[in-house]
Amino acid sequence: MSARAQLAATLTGATLEALRNEIDLAEQQAAHWSSATAASVDRNRLFDEVAGSSYVTLRRFQNQENDCKPRMEENTSAISHVRNTARDHSSVGDPPERYPMDRARQAGWHMRGKTTASPFVSLVEDPAKLAVSRDHWARAITNDADALYTYTVPTPTVWTPDDVLSSIGLGMNAEDQDNIDEDVDLMCSLGRTPTREIERLFLGGNSESYRTVSETNPYTRESSE
């Protein structure tokens, strides 16, 4: 049951509801194979273990429920991107960077505010830190949004600044002279990004499937006055 739950999280990108259903189904099927004296499995404990190890909880300030779509590739699910990345890596001999170089560049420029041609959606771990960011655009988003949404997403769908920097740096070591100047500029720019708010990027057009909580934005100017 544990292995099946882990596979649901990592290979199908199951939502938390789908994960719980998968655990319930696995228990029903296992009951047919187990003896009457076999110890029962604590489904709630198993769910908590897999959710804790294979998912991450992130938040996003929004005005509308559908304000969680990327500007590009919005019809591609997160797990499809994960599979495509794995296939790209295997086809070229498992490159050392975690992310394909072109994707890493897209992610890097998204983090620097160039989101008009991006397949990513920005989220944060701690919205309170975004509210006091040194970045005035970040504070404006925090103060002006109507609602604060919580998303619980599979870990493989999340891109972190450290991993993006690492991938770009490793790609530069491959002596890509055509893009070396732009890559250096991007890395320096990312290095100046405030880190308090811990930005995370979700790659995929189905983030709404992983929404778990919605609430009125507690950080609006009216709320803080």
| Torsion sign (Cα): 49, 205, 85, 61 | negative
Element (H, E) at 216: strand 211-216
In sequence order, what are the residues at sequence separation of 6 or more whose Cβ sits closer than 8 angstroms to the Cβ of residue 189? 108, 112
Q: Is 33 exposed, middle or buried (0-12, 13-18, 19+ CB in 10 A)?
A: exposed
List the helix and strand counts (H, then E) for the chain.
10, 6
Token pair for residue 53? Answer: 């190890």
Kindly report the CA angle at 106 between 101 and 112, in degrees rounded to 5? 125
Euclidean distance between CA atoms 141 and 137, whole angstroms: 6
- Supply the pTM of this predicted model: 0.82
pLDDT digits (tens, 9 = 90+) for 65-88: 889 999 999 999 999 988 887 666
Per-residue pLDDT of the chain (225 residues; tens, 9 = 90+): 778 778 877 778 899 999 999 888 888 876 666 555 555 667 889 999 999 999 999 999 999 988 999 999 999 999 998 888 766 655 554 444 556 778 888 888 888 888 888 999 999 999 998 888 877 888 888 999 999 999 999 998 998 888 888 777 776 665 556 677 777 777 777 766 655 567 899 999 999 999 999 999 999 876 555
pLDDT of residue 10: 77
